[in-house]
Amino acid sequence: MVLVLALGDLHIPHRAPDLPAKFKSMLVPGKIQHIICTGNLCIKEVHDYLKSLCPDMHVTRGEYDEDARYPETKTLTIGQFKLGLCHGHQVIPWGDLDSLAMLQRQLDVDILVTGHTHQFKAYKHEGGVVINPGSATGAYSSITYDVNPSFVLMDIDALRVVVYVYELIDGEVKVDKIDFKKTATAHSAH
């Protein structure tokens, strides 16, 4: 059983001062095995903070990231799942499922995590999942001003992944979860 924290678009300090206090208190070291971050952190301090939660951290580059060394896309394998990571500003139209599915096929991943739209989205698509964790700080985007802070925690266990969605609505943390099962043959057929 592996817990993977997926978050992005923090835009600290340009659009938000910090992570919401409620999120910060929930995110404690020792529980999470991996962090995947879609980008736009934007400064090194945030990177360091996330590293303190879990040393195994994967980041792709957003358009506002100071650190130019982040890759555009990244893939990693956790358990039996292959995960793809991309900020998403490169995929146009932004947040379009078909375009994202194209990227998913390109990267040949089961789970694609993208950001940029600051809207939580999760699609089951073609035997895979496309997830947008939203903005962890609730920072405004170029599309919308009304953003609820949210992030995603994936519980990956064998052929099964449970996606917990944490959303801060009116100062209260709401949790939702999405079950996703991968068929054993699905991946090998590719």
Partner 1 sequence: MSPAPIEVTLPESPSVSSPLCSSSTQRCGGESRFSNLRSVQWRINLGILPSSSSIEELRRVTADTRRRYAGLRRRLLVDPHFLKEGNNSPDLIMDNPLSQNPDSMWGRFFRNAELEKMVDQDLSRLYPEHGSYFQMPACQGMLRRILLLWCLRHPEYGYRQGMHELLAPLLFVLHVDVQCLSQVRKIYEDHFTDKFDGLSLTEGDVMCDYKFMSTPDSSNWGMGMDENNLQGSTNKVSSLDELNPEVQTIILLSDAYGAEGELGILLSERFMEHDAYCMFDALMSGARGTVAMADYFSSSPTLGSQTGLPPVIEASSALYHLLSIVDSSLHSHLVELGVEPQYFALRWLRVLFGREFLLEDLLIIWDEIFAADNSKLIASANDDDGSGFGVLGSPRGAFISAMAVSMLLHLRSSLLATETATACLQRLLNFPENANVKKLIEKAKSLQSLALDTSISSLSPFLYGAFDRKSTLTRVHSLSSGSISPRTPLKVVPESYWEEKWRVLHKAEELHQGSSGKQVPSGKKGSSGKVRLSLARAESDPSPAKTTSVKKDSRSFVRRRLLEDLSRELGFQEDVEKPGCSDQKDPICSQKDPLSSVNVGEQGFLNDSAEKNCIDKNFTSTAVETSLSGHTGSEENSSIFSASSSPLSGANDHENDSEKSSVSSNLYVDDNDGESNNLEQCGTALDDTPLPVSYPTDATLQQPESDKDSTGKQETILKERKLHSGKFQWFWRFGRGGGEGASEKGGNSEVSRSTNVGGTSEATTDKCDSSGLGGTGDSVDKNVLGTLRNLGHTMLENIQVLESVFQHDRGQVGSLENLSRNILVGKGQVTAMAALKELRKISNLLSEM
Residue placing its CB nearer to partner 1 in the complex, 27 or 41? 27
50: left (phi over 0), alpha (psi -120 to 50) or beta: alpha
**Please, what is the minimum distance in Å from the beta carbon of residue 18 to partner 1?**
18
**Please, what is the minimum distance in Å from the beta carbon of residue 162 to partner 1?**
8
Residue placing its CB nearer to partner 1 in the complex, 62 or 134? 134
- In sequence order, the 6+-apart residues with CB closer than 8 A to the CB of 172 are none
What is the Cα–Cα distance from 107 to 85, expressed in whole angstroms? 9
Interaction site with partner 1 (CB under 8 A): 1, 3, 25-28, 30-31, 153, 155, 157, 160, 162, 164, 166, 173-177
What secondary structure letter does DSSP report for 146? -
Residue placing its CB nearer to partner 1 in the complex, 88 or 138? 138
Residue placing its CB nearer to partner 1 in the complex, 36 or 100? 36
**Please, what is the minimum distance in Å from the beta carbon of residue 29 to partner 1?**
12
**Please, what is the minimum distance in Å from the beta carbon of residue 26 to partner 1?**
4
What residues form DSSP beta bridges with 74? 85
Residue placing its CB nearer to partner 1 in the complex, 67 or 155? 155
DSSP per-residue letters across 38-101: -S--BSHHHHHHHHHH-S-EEE---TT-S-TTS-SEEEEEETTEEEEEE-STTSSSTT-HHHHH
**Please, what is the minimum distance in Å from the beta carbon of residue 40 to partner 1?**
22
